[in-house]
A and B are shown apart, each in its own frame.
Chain A
Amino acid sequence: MAEAEESPGDPGTASPRPLMRDLKAVGKKFMHVLYPRKSNTLLRDWDLWGPLILCVTLALMLQRDSVDSEKDGGPQFAEVFVIVWFGAVTITLNSKLLGGNISFFQSLCVLGYCILPLTVAMLICRLVLLADPGPVNFMVRLFVVIVMFAWSIVASTAFLADSQPPNRRALAVYPVFLFYFVISWMILTFTPQ
């Protein structure tokens, strides 16, 4: 991914980029998502490692861990993966076609990183599901998912809304809302065997 990094690095050195620096960059972006402020760091130094990690984690946790898949109703790994990436690409295309001044990969980067709250929600839901099922269980999960969903929306609109002219902001934000809503729904309806 060396050629994909556009952040100021060592100009023209032959040594490979140290792994720690990339990890630190990813971690810094995670913090930016968790505490969304209007900063440009996420936009400037875009990378797709973070979204990839998040998407793979989410898809692994969401897929049916079932060898016996006759009652297989949930999404497979590939389906989750496709939904996330296809959804992100579609939203980016929509935002660009509406005249936004954000580049393609920057937008993908932002959308991917803002899945972080929902991945955390998935982790919490899996832990909660280890307890006995019941309405209380469901209420807790519902509450967690709603909070994380709101967090994702706030984080992503903090970055994306500025790139649109004000009379089209709602048109660009609504697909983001739909995207995270669908992912939240998949998380909420996850039932282990």
Chain B
Amino acid sequence: MAAVDDLQFEEFGNAATSLAANPDATTVNIEDPGETPKHQPGPPRGSGREEDDELLGNDDSDKTELLAGQKKSSPFWTFEYYQTFFDVDTYQVFDRIKGSLLPIPGKNFVRLYIRSNPDLYGMCPFWICATLVFAIAISGNLSNFLIHLGEKTYHYVPEFRKVSIAATIIYAYAWLVPLALWGFLMWRNSKVMNIVSYSFLEIVCVYGYSLFIYIPTAILWIIPQKAVRWILVMIALGISGSVLSMTFWPAVREDNRRVALATIVTIVLLHMLLSVGCLAYFFDAPEMDHLPTTTATLNQTVAAAKSS
């Protein structure tokens, strides 16, 4: 007991000399990032502390920043806590988007781009998903309009319901699938010692950026050719699937071979399900709708011929 007291007293002393603030508050603040790292339940990684130091050092690192120490440890009900997630510049966002478009084997997307600033939360999941929702809804509307352009019987309606459905699907995918994946990785992490483990926000981030490729794909889906659409699906799936696979392969590599492969296959399969589902639901198939119109015009000409 006496030894413990001595240790505590020494810590107290260090805090007082180096921080010169309210000692109790500062000791609590120092311990907070270690004990309750945000969104990282489980054994706190040793690298977490280095990241904190790195981030604190990246600011105008006076002693005052280090002394305050509040930047990373505001309680979650304050505004500043969420502001730390948006600490990103325009060029960083563009770099990450480029990284998601050009998967290079060997370069881990997360490690390269996101690990240096893991608190990315604002741009990628939310605004990319929002853009994707509207891109799909608008392109679907446009393509239906173009397909039915010549028909007299078709009255164009902007199908507004589809926007809300699209929003639900895409946001659910972008948040629930990473949640499930993260839970699964954490569970495997407890069984097998993995070298690499991702936090929930990083997985959300990777998924958000991987959905970016679908924005130009959705716009190009306006072209009412079945072959073109399926080629686009393949290309988009190839790119984003490979980015996701290469990101998550190190996380499951250490595991049982079959479990690792099953994980990767599931990830890619869910991605494909999303893209094919969106294509099927929002975009009418071009050939199938022309058949009724040709029969209709045929009947009309036959009727006209009979009546004359």
B122, A94: Cβ atoms closer than 8 Å:
yes
Distance from B282 Cβ to chain A, minimum over Cβ atoms (Å): 14
B91, A167: Cβ atoms closer than 8 Å:
yes
Digit string of B115-136 for contact with A (CB within 8 Å is 1, else 0)? 0000000110011001100100
A168, B89: Cβ atoms closer than 8 Å:
yes
- CB-nearest residue of chain A to B155: A71
- Number of B residues near A (Cβ < 8 Å) is 27
Give every chain B residue within 8 A of A190 (Cβ-Cβ).
158
Chain B interface, >50% SS class: helix
Give every chain A residue within 8 A of B3 (Cβ-Cβ).
none
One of A6-14, A38-46, A105-113, A171-179 at the interface: A171-179
Give every chain B residue within 8 A of A99 (Cβ-Cβ).
83, 86-87
A185, B83: Cβ atoms closer than 8 Å:
no
Give A96 to B87 CA distance when docked, in angstroms: 11
B134, A182: Cβ atoms closer than 8 Å:
yes
Give A175 to B138 CA distance when docked, in angstroms: 17
A178, B134: Cβ atoms closer than 8 Å:
yes
- Number of A residues near B (Cβ < 8 Å) is 26
Give every chain A residue within 8 A of B86 (Cβ-Cβ).
94, 97-99
One of A28-36, A73-81, A145-153 at the interface: A73-81
* Chain A, 53-107, CB within 8 A of any chain B CB: 71-75, 79, 94, 96-99
Give A171 to B91 CA distance when docked, in angstroms: 10
Give A189 to B162 CA distance when docked, in angstroms: 15
B131, A171: Cβ atoms closer than 8 Å:
no
Q: Which of A74, A97, A170, A175 is close to B90, meaning CB atoms less than 8 Å apart? A: A170
Q: Which of B82, B89, B138, B141 is close to A167, meaning CB atoms less than 8 Å apart? A: B89
Given A94-B122, A98-B122, A99-B86, also A178-B160 (CB < 8 A): no
* A191, CB-defined interface residue at 8 Å: yes
Give every chain B residue within 8 A of A96 (Cβ-Cβ).
79
Give every chain A residue within 8 A of B85 (Cβ-Cβ).
97
Distance from B9 Cβ to chain A, minimum over Cβ atoms (Å): 41
* A186, CB-defined interface residue at 8 Å: yes
B88, A74: Cβ atoms closer than 8 Å:
no
Give A69 to B105 CA distance when docked, in angstroms: 54
Give A97 to B88 CA distance when docked, in angstroms: 11
Give every chain B residue within 8 A of A73 (Cβ-Cβ).
157-161
Chain A residues in the interface with B (C-beta under 8 A): 71-75, 79, 94, 96-99, 167-171, 174-175, 178, 181-182, 185-186, 189-191
Chain B residues in the interface with A (C-beta under 8 A): 79, 82-83, 85-91, 93, 122-123, 126-127, 130-131, 134, 138, 141, 155-161
30 contacts between A and B (CB under 8 A): A73-B157, A73-B158, A73-B161, A75-B158, A75-B160, A79-B160, A94-B127, A96-B79, A97-B82, A97-B83, A97-B85, A97-B86, A97-B122, A99-B83, A99-B87, A167-B90, A168-B88, A168-B89, A170-B90, A171-B93, A175-B127, A178-B127, A178-B130, A178-B131, A181-B134, A185-B138, A186-B158, A189-B141, A189-B156, A191-B157
